[in-house]
């Protein structure tokens, strides 16, 4: 079963995607995959074989947050698998491409890929991946400020997950968070807190406190609390998200920097909206320091909470 890569812009408008969609590719390694692609190309392997190899390589790059390389690999996979019998892998390639270009801020292009992926999974009657695709599309729509549509897609994802035995708790949690944010953006922030509670309840107790899933929950909780007028509680929730993120020294440096920036930028936005100028200035200083110390960390991508969370590593 695959897990949604990329799931929150809400957390990046890449913490929009941050945890739940593609399978984290096990072996072979990227070096082996590249060698296999070279050999397969030289012996003129079938589109199915080559496309599957490029898809696996794209997933590996995505896991490492090497997003430009992931986009290139997914593009090869999409081209090669389009007219083959491997329509599930083709849909996965489209979804991978959609998540990556969403991370780069190319939202309408991302919607095109994600909508096509959803249609294929629905035609295949693949309930688990259809639910994942609804979530991916909901995250993208949220990034486009299409909040009503995002709420509809995240609700469809939750209904889909309820009807399947195979699903990832992180994906279900992300669907609740996406719906909560979309509801709050439509003026229903107090009731949105119920969805945040649901997101927290589905996460296994064995998951570390500083898992990407729990960081996402703290961040979204803080955003919604601030919007609902619970400013003290909201500020503390967002500080907790940042503390937990900064403890993730196991993450690739580029990912860790992007994660910190997503949280800090979300804090800044919420504090400015609440007219807490002094606190917002302090956060702004932190953002400038991190950007000056790691200017090329994300290579120009406009990661959102949603997107980052979707590509997240546990």
Within 13 Å of residue 282, how many CA atoms lie on the same side as its CB?
7
**DSSP structure class, residue 167:** -
Nearest-angstrom CA–CA distance, 53 and 30:
10
For residues 53 and 9, the model is more confident at 53
What pLDDT does 21 receive?
44
Q: Which of 2, 192, 169, 193 is nearest to 96 (CA)?
A: 2
Give the DSSP H or E segment for 133.
Answer: helix 127-143
For residues 26 and 301, the model is more confident at 26
Structure tokens at 147: 């909040």
Structure tokens at 49: 């074989």
Within 13 Å of residue 76, how many CA atoms lie on the same side as its CB?
21
Tell me the CATH class for 30-174+247-309.
mainly alpha
E strands along 193-238, which residues?
none
Residue 301 pLDDT > 60: no
What pLDDT does 296 receive?
53
Nearest-angstrom CA–CA distance, 238 and 240:
5
Q: Please, are residues 95 and 117 in contact by the beta-carbon 8 Å criterion?
A: yes
Domain edges within the chain: 30-174+247-309
204 φ, ψ (degrees, to nearest 5) = -60, 140
Residue 245 pLDDT > 70: yes
| Ramachandran bin of 125, using left for φ above 0, alpha for ψ from -120 to 50, beta for the remaining angles | left
Nearest-angstrom CA–CA distance, 160 and 121:
12
Q: Which of 89, 117, 90 is nearest to 102 (CA)?
A: 117
Per-residue pLDDT reduced to its tens digit, 160-211: 999 887 768 888 999 999 999 999 999 999 999 999 999 999 998 888 999 9
For residues 312 and 112, the model is more confident at 112
Q: Please, are residues 17 and 311 in contact by the beta-carbon 8 Å criterion?
A: yes
For residues 304 and 220, the model is more confident at 220
For residues 83 and 206, the model is more confident at 83
Residue 22 pLDDT > 60: no
pLDDT band at 23 (very low <50, low <70, confident <90, very high): very low
Mean pLDDT of the chain: 85
Nearest-angstrom CA–CA distance, 132 and 104:
21
Poorest-confidence range of 40-49, 108-117, 295-304? Answer: 295-304
Residue 314 pLDDT > 60: no
Instruction: Tell me how crowded residue 188 is: count the other CB atoms within 10 A of its CB.
Output: 17
Residue 302 pLDDT > 80: no
Model pTM score: 0.84
Angle between helices 253-273 and 212-227 (to 10 degrees): 10
User: Mean of the pLDDT values across residues 115-133?
Assistant: 96
What pLDDT does 299 receive?
45
165 φ, ψ (degrees, to nearest 5) = -90, -20
88 φ, ψ (degrees, to nearest 5) = -65, -45
What pLDDT does 26 receive?
52
Nearest-angstrom CA–CA distance, 181 and 141:
12
Angle between helices 87-103 and 47-63 (to 10 degrees): 30
User: Mean of the pLDDT values across residues 241-260?
Assistant: 88
Residue 41 pLDDT > 70: yes
**Cis peptide leading into 28, omega within 30 of 0?**
yes
Nearest-angstrom CA–CA distance, 6 and 17:
4
């Amino acid at each position: 079963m695959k897990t949604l890569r990329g799931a929150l812009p809400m957390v990046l408008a890449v913490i929009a995607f941050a945890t739940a969609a593609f399978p984290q590719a096990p072996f072979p390694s990227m070096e082996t995959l590249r060698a296999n692609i070279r050999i397969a190309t030289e012996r003129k392997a079938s589109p199915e074989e080559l496309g599957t190899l490029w898809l696996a390589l794209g997933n590996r790059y995505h896991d490492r947050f090497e997003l430009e390389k992931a986009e290139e690999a997914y593009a090869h996979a999409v081209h090669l698998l389009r007219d083959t019998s491997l329509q599930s892998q083709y849909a996965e390639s489209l979804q991978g491409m959609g998540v990556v270009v969403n991370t780069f801020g190319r939202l309408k292009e991302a919607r095109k890929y994600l909508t096509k992926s959803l249609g294929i999974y629905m035609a295949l009657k693949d309930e688990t991946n259809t639910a994942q695709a609804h979530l991916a599309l909901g995250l993208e729509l949220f990034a486009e400020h299409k909040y009503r549509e995002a709420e509809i897609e995240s609700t469809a994802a939750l209904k889909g997950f309820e009807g399947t035995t195979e699903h990832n708790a992180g994906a279900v949690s992300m669907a609740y968070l996406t719906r909560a944010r979309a509801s709050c953006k439509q003026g229903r922030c107090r009731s949105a807190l119920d969805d945040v509670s649901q997101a927290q309840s589905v996460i296994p107790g064995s998951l570390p406190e500083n898992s990407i899933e729990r960081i996402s929950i703290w961040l979204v909780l803080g955003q919604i609390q601030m919007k609902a007028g619970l400013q003290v509680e909201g500020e503390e929730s967002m500080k907790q998200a940042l503390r937990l993120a900064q403890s993730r020294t196991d993450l690739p440096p580029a990912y860790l920097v992007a994660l910190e920036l997503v949280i800090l930028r979300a804090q800044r936005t919420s504090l400015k909206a609440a007219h807490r100028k002094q606190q917002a200035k302090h956060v702004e200083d932190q953002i400038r320091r991190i950007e000056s110390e790691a200017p090329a960390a994300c290579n120009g991508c406009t990661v959102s909470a949603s997107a980052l969370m979707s590509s997240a590593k546990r």
